[in-house]
Amino acid sequence: MVQKAERVGVPRITGGRTRGAGPVGNVTRGTTNPNRMRRLDRWLTGPQAWRLRAAADPLVVDLGYGASPATAVELFERLSVIRPDVRVAGIEIEPERVRLGRELERPGLSFQLGGFELPVAGRPVLVRAFNVLRQYEESDVAGIWRLVQGRLAPGGLFIDGTCDEIGRKVTWVALDAGGPVSLSLSLRFGSFTLPSEVAERLPKALIHRNVPGERIHSYLQAMDQAWLEAAPLASFGNRQRWSAMCRALLDGGWPVQDGPSRWRLGELTVGWDAVAPGN
């Protein structure tokens, strides 16, 4: 049985460089389910599709896809609609998982052994690492982020995210070469009473920061307050209520980066500076 990851060898991830041979990282639990990443993939094929369309080399990495390659296959199929010549590389640090993935290889979809060093030819325009870093120490996150950021293509994006077992409560941080740029939350209507219930699925950089005095705590509290104030709209459906909540946050000065077309999906993205951990 694969256990929770031990602390990654941080000295090997210093200043975006690695020391020593072999993949960078640890074997994690690898639990996954088909269609678990659909909410994130919908964002990649929606407001972020331009990155793939504009890429000189449409290389995408699914990092740490888990014990089943299903979500890597789904990512390939979804991105192929946007860019038929996309190349998706599933990377896993556990050899048996790579062997299982290779049984499903096809033109444009490959699987290989590796870790955060991203042992692929070329620089990826998108890197997805979901439910991976949550199994590491918070102190490891910054070094891992820098390592992956250093491998991105110009205009590339690294997505570090977390979700529940069936993909109904999802959060992700998006990073470009310069650092984190946004936090997105995506919830299935009917799966929550208050939006702040998503706190248990926050990325590792934020999950321990949901306490008074931290920005992420203030943000989730503001979401709850706006959601409660929008309760009279519940009779018109949760989409209308969620959209009213998002509009209230925007009007209240929160740096909301998306609009009604995303809100109606139960999604909301804000600038990273509004939720970043304090010193």
CA distance 69 to 225: 40
* pLDDT recorded at residue 168: 96
How are the residues of the chain apportioned to helix, strand and coil, as percentages rounded to the nearest 5? 40, 20, 45
pLDDT band at 7 (very low <50, low <70, confident <90, very high): very low
pLDDT band at 15 (very low <50, low <70, confident <90, very high): very low
Q: What is the pLDDT of residues 138-185, one digit of tens each?
A: 999 999 999 999 999 999 999 999 999 999 999 999 999 999 999 999
Which pair of structure tokens corresponds to residue 209? 């920061």
Please calculate the CA angle 120-125-130 and round it to the nearest 5 degrees: 80
H runs (alpha helix) in 93-209: 95-102, 138-149, 204-207
* Contacts of residue 129, Cβ cutoff 8 Å, sequence gap at least 6: 63, 64, 148, 158, 159, 160, 161
What one-character DSSP code corresponds to residue 176? E
* Contacts of residue 120, Cβ cutoff 8 Å, sequence gap at least 6: 59, 61, 89, 91, 112, 114
What one-character DSSP code corresponds to residue 14? B
Residue 87 has φ and ψ, to the nearest 5°, of -120, 115
Q: What is the pLDDT of residues 218-259, one digit of tens each?
A: 999 999 999 999 999 999 999 999 999 999 999 999 999 999
* pLDDT recorded at residue 25: 84
What number of residues does the chain have?
279
| Contact in structure between 138 and 205 (CB atoms under 8 Å) | yes
* pLDDT recorded at residue 273: 98
Residue of higher predicted confidence among 8 and 94? 94
E strands, the chain, where? 59-63, 87-92, 109-113, 126-130, 157-163, 169-176, 179-187, 267-271
Q: Is the pLDDT of residue 6 over 50?
A: no
* pLDDT recorded at residue 115: 95
Mean pLDDT of all residues belonging to the chain: 92
Query: pTM here?
Result: 0.91
Q: Is the pLDDT of residue 59 over 60?
A: yes
